[in-house]
């Protein structure tokens, strides 16, 4: 847990992330979890995944933006992503982050840009999904999601099993019949609002999986269980079997490069698997969050960084 917290803390330090960013794509270690820096690279990775029978969700990495102009640029980028995905006839959608659309700056602007993106996707017969960020944004994200989904009906939302409030939030969202991506939660939240122990988060994840799958049986939810935890996956599969749910009524989601063995098993079982495909130049904080989830991942990064700095120190200073 200490190492995990330390890496997570490092991921918030620009000095560290900039150093990793200078090396990561060049020497290849970042490619394990990031499809590339450009949309073209992400589309190439997506093409490969789709040819293997997966669906994709493109995610342009980055978080809070500094001003309205930057938010509008991100919004135009999201629309381009969905258009390119469509033009290339790839199965899937895009995932958006509301802080990239200026949620911190102007909530109404963020709502209107989210609506524009969802509307463009709807014209193309596509969906979008909204990521869930830290707890400072939960209320605003739910509010914007609910209004856009009520209007356009093609949106999905991530919800976090580590938050005590999530069950209540799902009951509130049931009326808009949403696609729900159930995740454990990737941020550090205090104990007054979130379960701290893995066993508690897992128990709530199981409970919410059952709630969502029962909702799917009644036509209320389209659940997507987003986890690399074999126990969560098998719980969902056995609950779906108990409810005699058709496989078209739910799906699994996993992240590019993580537990490819489990991804293959889910696909082999005939379940739909959507792979979250992150790309962009601002990949480092995301990359480090993935490292903090599994510190064993750090060794291959450290090995490649030390190998490079060793050779750099033998070169003349410029």
Ligand X SMILES: Cc1cc2nc3c(=O)[nH]c(=O)nc-3n(C[C@H](O)[C@H](O)[C@H](O)COP(=O)(O)OP(=O)(O)OC[C@H]3O[C@@H](n4cnc5c(N)ncnc54)[C@H](O)[C@@H]3O)c2cc1C
Question: Which amino acids are annotated catalytic?
Answer: 131, 181
Nearer Cβ to ligand X (102/156): 156
Q: What does the alpha-carbon distance between residue 99 and residue 112 come to, in Å, rounded to a whole number?
A: 13
Nearer Cβ to ligand X (154/274): 274
Nearer Cβ to ligand X (220/263): 263
Tell which residue, 242, 196, 248, 203, has the closest CA to residue 222. Answer: 248
Minimum CB separation of residue 29 from ligand X in Å reads 13
Q: Which residues are CB-contacts of 180 (< 8 A; sequence separation ≥ 6)?
A: 156, 157, 158, 159, 170, 173, 212, 221, 222, 223, 224
- Residue environment code for 259-293, b if the CB has 16+ CB neighbours within 10 A, otherwise e: beebbeebbeeebbbbbbbbbbeebbbbbbbbbbb
Nearer Cβ to ligand X (216/255): 255
Minimum CB separation of residue 281 from ligand X in Å reads 20
Cα–Cα separations (whole angstroms), residue 72 to 96, 234, 299: 13, 41, 38
Minimum CB separation of residue 310 from ligand X in Å reads 26
Looking at residue 281, what DSSP letter applies? S
Place of tokens 């102007």: 106
Nearer Cβ to ligand X (150/294): 294
Nearer Cβ to ligand X (68/129): 129
Q: What share of the chain is helix, strand, coil (3-state, %, to 5)?
A: 55, 15, 30
Half-sphere exposure in the Cβ direction for 242 (13 Å, CA): 10
Minimum CB separation of residue 248 from ligand X in Å reads 19
Q: Which residue ranges make up the site for ligand X (CB under 6 A)?
A: 131-132, 158, 160, 181, 183-187, 226-229, 253-255, 258-259, 276, 290, 293-294, 297
Sign of CA dihedral 56, 162, 223, 179: negative
The pair of three-digit structure tokens given for residue 120, joined into one six-digit string: 């463009």
Q: How many helices (H) and strands (E) does the chain have?
A: 12, 8
Cβ atoms within 10 Å of 59's Cβ, excluding its own? 24
Minimum CB separation of residue 256 from ligand X in Å reads 9
Minimum CB separation of residue 76 from ligand X in Å reads 22
Q: What does the alpha-carbon distance between residue 40 and residue 255 come to, in Å, rounded to a whole number?
A: 19
């Amino acid at each position: 847990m200490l190492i995990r917290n330390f890496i997570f803390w490092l991921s918030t330090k620009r000095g560290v992330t900039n150093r990793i960013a200078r090396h990561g794509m060049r020497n290849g270690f970042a490619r394990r979890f990031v499809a590339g820096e450009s949309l073209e690279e992400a589309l190439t990775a997506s093409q490969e995944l789709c040819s293997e029978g997966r669906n994709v969700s493109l995610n342009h990495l980055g978080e809070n933006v500094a001003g309205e102009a930057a938010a509008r640029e991100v919004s135009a980028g999201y629309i381009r992503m969905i258009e390119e995905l469509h033009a290339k006839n790839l199965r899937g959608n895009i995932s958006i982050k509301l802080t990239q659309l200026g949620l911190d700056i102007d909530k109404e602007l963020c709502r209107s840009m989210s609506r524009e993106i969802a509307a463009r996707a709807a014209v193309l017969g596509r969906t979008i999904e909204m990521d869930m960020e830290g707890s400072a944004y939960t209320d605003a994200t739910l509010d914007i999601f609910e209004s856009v989904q009520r209007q356009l009906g093609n949106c999905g939302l991530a919800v976090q099993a580590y938050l005590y409030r999530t069950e209540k939030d799902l009951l509130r969202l049931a009326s808009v019949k949403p696609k729900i991506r159930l995740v454990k939660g990737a941020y550090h939240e205090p104990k007054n609002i979130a379960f701290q122990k893995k066993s508690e988060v897992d128990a709530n994840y199981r409970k919410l999986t059952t709630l969502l799958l029962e909702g799917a049986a009644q036509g209320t939810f389209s659940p997507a269980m987003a986890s690399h935890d074999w126990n969560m996956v098998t719980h969902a599969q056995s609950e779906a079997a108990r409810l005699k749910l058709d496989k078209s009524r739910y799906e699994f989601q996993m992240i590019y490069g993580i537990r490819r063995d489990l991804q293959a098993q889910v696909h082999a079982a005939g379940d739909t698997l959507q792979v979250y495909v992150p790309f962009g130049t601002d990949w480092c904080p995301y990359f480090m969050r993935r490292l903090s989830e599994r510190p064993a991942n750090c060794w291959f990064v450290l090995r490649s960084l030390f190998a490079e700095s060793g050779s750099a120190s033998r070169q003349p200073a410029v």
